[in-house]
Structure 1
């Protein structure tokens, strides 16, 4: 495993991180704690030291599993969590509220069984929040109080990321970036590098589309967001298949498939593509099983992709995907 500097946090994060949404037990179909814990342990065995979670993943269950693993390991682990999606209604005014943010942080502290949170991220708040300096002032105060060490944002749109990094103490931006979402590299990465912002890449496999394992007749459980959120019925459409129409995504995958080297899975190929961008700090690939955690980690060991392959991927994006997503996120 290789490691990259996580902005100004002072932390060197593993290139492949562990995305812990799926092990919360909601939104990704059925899972069980024994399997989830085995996946976490395997990832750490392979050098993963960055874990991303949120208070709403299983209503805190994901955080609680991570706390259990943290007690059982000696290795230093950096845990990033998120706050804000518990607001009901989920509106900007709810973030501009000291009591709300403090309550969320204290709940995270209890779930993770720690005295200070490594990194707290605003969890895809409404766009108006990025024009509310007081929100970031409250986070500054929580750092001063010792409840958290640093903070960042998780965003839906590139425009939100650009607004967020205007605030001097924003240390990280978590953003969707994959072979179906090239806009961050085109319009955000340079600004992030100039400000020494750590970039955490989420949805790297486009909700599994970029594993190459799905077919037109693939079925998803009723509790899986790939079943119930394809058109943004429950939350932002961009969270599901990166906002790409399922059939269009399958066609693009078939165009990409010949580019995958022998002996490499398409998922590993997709993760290695992301790591070709030096501005990226870590890729939080989701895993529900030991095998998935192992496969994800191996992507960091692959040799660099050729410029010819990188150009071909851009061509496929331009031909199949760009017009569908570029202006939306």
Structure 2
């Protein structure tokens, strides 16, 4: 497992991390036993970055991570969590309530069993929040209080990311970046590198589409966001299948399949595509079981993708996918 520098935090983290949404909820049934086994497998493979949130399973994800790390002992991985989506209603003004934000942090500290959180990210807040300097002042106060070491943002849109990194103490940005969501290449990644901002690539497999294992006949459980959020009914539709219409994406996947080297799983190939960008600090695929965790981690060992194949993938994006997503996010 190769590592990369995590921006101005000074940390070195595995370039393949572990996205812990699936072990919390909204991806169908994942037993606690399978969830913990997947996390153990990832850590055994050299993963040293875990991303979670307080709303993943209403704290279940954070609690499972705490259990696994207690079982393992030894050096702890870098654990990032998120705050803000517990607000009800989820509105911009809620982020400017220092007491409420502090209460969310206290809850995550308890769930994760630590005295100080490595990284807290605002969890895809409304766009207006990025224009409220006071919110970032609240985060500075939490750093000063010793409750969090660093803070960053998780964003839906490139424009939000560019605004967020104007604040001097924002250390990281989490953003959707994959073969189907290439807009960050145009400006954001260069600007993040210039400011030494850590970048976490989320939804790297487009909710499983880029594994190449889905078809028009694939079905999803009622509590799986790939069933209940296909049109943005519960949260931003860009989080589900990267916002690409399902049938359109399936057709593009078949074109991508022809470019994948023989013997390489498409999921690993898709993760390796992300790692071709030096501005990415870590990629956080989810895993529901040991096999997925091991396969994801193996992507770090793949050789670079050739320039010709990179160009072909760009052409597929521009022709087949960009009309649906490029200007939206």
Match status 1:60 vs 2:56: no
Q: Secondary structure at the match of 1:75?
A: coil
Q: Which residue of 2 aligns with 1:39?
A: 38
1:270-285 equivalences in 2 (<5 Å):
270-285=270-285
- Please state how far the C-alpha of 1:69 moved relative to its aligned partner: 1.1
Distance across 2 between alignment mates of 1:185 and 1:144: 34
Q: CA RMSD in A?
A: 0.5
CA-to-aligned-CA distance 1:2-24 (integer Å, 9 cap, x gap): 00011111111100000000001
Distance across 2 between alignment mates of 1:227 and 1:186: 31
- Please state how far the C-alpha of 1:76 moved relative to its aligned partner: 2.5
Q: Which residue of 2 aligns with 1:81?
A: 81
Distance across 2 between alignment mates of 1:104 and 1:54: 10
Q: Which residue of 2 aligns with 1:72?
A: 71
Distance across 1 between alignment mates of 2:243 and 2:218: 18
- Please state how far the C-alpha of 1:152 moved relative to its aligned partner: 0.2
CA-to-aligned-CA distance 1:84-113 (integer Å, 9 cap, x gap): 000000000000110111000000000001
In the TM superposition, structure 1's runs of 4+ consecutive aligned residues that sit over 4 Å from their partners are: none
- Please state how far the C-alpha of 1:278 moved relative to its aligned partner: 0.3
Distance across 1 between alignment mates of 2:68 and 2:30: 17
Task: Give ranges in structure 1 of 5+ residues lacking alignment.
Answer: none
**150-159 vs 66-75, which deviates more?**
66-75
Distance across 2 between alignment mates of 1:75 and 1:319: 46
CA-to-aligned-CA distance 1:210-241 (integer Å, 9 cap, x gap): 00000011100011010111110110000000
Q: Secondary structure at the match of 1:269?
A: helix
- The alignment's TM-score, normalised by the length of structure 1, stands at 0.99
Distance across 2 between alignment mates of 1:286 and 1:314: 24
Q: Which residue of 2 aligns with 1:256?
A: 256
- The alignment's TM-score, normalised by the length of structure 2, stands at 0.99
Distance across 2 between alignment mates of 1:77 and 1:315: 38
Distance across 2 between alignment mates of 1:168 and 1:55: 25
Match status 1:27 vs 2:56: no
- Please state how far the C-alpha of 1:187 moved relative to its aligned partner: 2.1
Q: Secondary structure at the match of 2:116?
A: coil
1:129-278 equivalences in 2 (<5 Å):
129-278=129-278
Distance across 1 between alignment mates of 2:4 and 2:30: 31
Distance across 2 between alignment mates of 1:72 and 1:294: 19
Q: Which residue of 1 aligns with 2:325?
A: 325
CA-to-aligned-CA distance 1:243-285 (integer Å, 9 cap, x gap): 0000000000001001000110000000000000000000001
Distance across 1 between alignment mates of 2:240 and 2:282: 20
Q: Which residue of 2 aligns with 1:94?
A: 94
Q: Secondary structure at the match of 1:178?
A: coil
Number of equivalences: 328
1:102-141 equivalences in 2 (<5 Å):
102-141=102-141
Q: Secondary structure at the match of 2:285?
A: strand
Match status 1:6 vs 2:6: yes
